[in-house]
Structure 1
């Protein structure tokens, strides 16, 4: 039986609450300053998988003094430490990476399992809210993280952009895009095939090098059904590129297109 793991991709189920997909930069804090909620979603079992799983994740965003805030989205926690009137945000982050264990695919199951790991790093972002004419909220940012504990390895950098537009006082639509660069150690761990792993699985050997591993895009909808409650839905599409897409794990057993779908409910204050 598949070991159902709640991965960061299930934040697609929380995007309606948190304003962030897998820390992808989607922000609606001008609309929802404080919340706690639960999202449910469907995603792939591992990076590049064709097999799917379902799960649920909590999320919260708490406004602190001034423009500071703390965010918790499943395995991700971020803290904005800047007190800035020009839209700048920056601070530390922690992210639990849940790896590749107990998969359904019989060939991939012969590859070395990847267990839990902790990544630490930081982010910097800038947002602009236009309140006249056609209102919108634009956000641009960059996240960086590095493995510090457990089985995860390497460094990742993610530039991102997002845009939210209100259709009414109750209904909001948004979209965003970004890309992720990963170091050689991360790429080899998730997409490489060592000679020993090739002999065990039957896949050809493959050395994965550093580079961009994915580009992504998401659409989202928020519906404020009550002054204290919000519903929403969204999707998160990833397209593997570079050595991630060229890996025999993906070419022979997976799919370079990865999709997450989610729904969520949040309590606001």
Structure 2
């Protein structure tokens, strides 16, 4: 079954950004409060799948000394080690669930991909504008590499996001990004070996390293009470390069991948 990483990241953004977005236009301090929340979402079963799944993911963020913080969204955990007003950087861990017990009868004949753990780091810069039209801009880069389990390869993800307040309670945001994957990851998820081709009926295929997707997401946050925030959003991925050319995608999947989510967070 495909990982809910994408759903959890979307829901995590919706929950974790309640603090920074609430600060825009309301305070001169870009303060991220402590929070705990739960997100529910619908996403695809595996990278490129047409079949869908529904799941729930917890989320939490703990403010540490100064500007440091610890965040946890389902399979993702990150620790910001910088005490800086504009910069964030630190280690990350990500649990990747892979591709198991899929509904598609042809893809089910391909080798299953089990649980795996990725480790890496992130660096980001953010700016809160409090003059004129207030906004919060964030630019960043995440990098990870497989360290345990069945997942393989490395990832690089540059991203950007922008949030605007419509009122003291309602905020809208959007973001874009792309993911580069190395040869090991691409071959694991998108290649078809001669043995797998014979078992599934798909043609043989060898995927190489490169950008595998671009993505875009819109989100809405509504502060329903001083300590409660609702979030809703969509996360659209478009597979490119060798990922899109794979017969797994061309014959059994879809280049467009959509995740939809709702999140509720308690702040303190």
Q: What is the TM-score normalised by the length of structure 1?
A: 0.93
Q: Secondary structure at the match of 2:238?
A: strand
Q: Deviations over 1:14-39 (max 9, x none)?
A: 4321239xxxxxx7484652210000
Matched, 1:129 2:133: no
- Alignment map for 1:37-116 (pairs within 5 Å): 37-85=37-85, 87-116=86-115
For the residue of structure 1 that corresponds to 2:205, the secondary structure is coil
The reply on whether 1:194 has 2:193 as its aligned counterpart is yes
- Deviation, 1:59, is 0.2
Once the two structures are superposed, the pairs formed by residues 1-269 of structure 1 within 5 Å of their partners are: 7-11=4-8, 12-19=10-17, 28=21, 30=30, 32-85=32-85, 87-269=86-268
1:73-132, Cα deviation, whole Å (9 max, x unpaired): 1000000001113x0110000000010000000000000000000000000110000011
Determine if contact 2:81/2:89 at 8 Å carries over to the other structure.
yes
Q: Which runs of 5+ in 1 are unaligned?
A: 21-26
Q: Is the CA contact (8 Å cut-off) linking 2:3 and 2:98 kept in structure 1?
A: no
Alignment partners' CA distance in 2, 1:152 and 1:129: 37
8 Å contact from structure 1 (residues 115, 151) kept in 2: yes
- Map of 1:24 onto structure 2: none
Task: State how far apart, in whole Å, the 1-side matches of 2:235 and 2:31 are.
Answer: 21
* Aligned pairs, number: 259
Does the 8 A contact of 1:15 with 1:234 survive in 2?
no
Q: Secondary structure at the match of 2:184?
A: helix
User: SS at 2:48's partner residue?
Assistant: coil
Moved >6 Å (runs of 4+): none
CA distance in 1, matches of 2:143, 2:214: 16
C-alpha contact 1:14 1:262 (8 A) present in aligned 2 = no
Whole-angstrom CA distance in 2 between matches of 1:222 and 1:34: 17
SS at match of 1:196: helix
Deviation at 1:235, TM superposition (A): 0.2
SS at match of 1:77: strand
Cα distance in 2 for partners of 1:200, 1:55 equals: 30
Q: TM-score, normalised by structure 2?
A: 0.94
The C-alpha deviation readout for 1:155-177, integer Å capped at 9, x for no partner, is: 00000000001111111100000
RMSD: 1.5
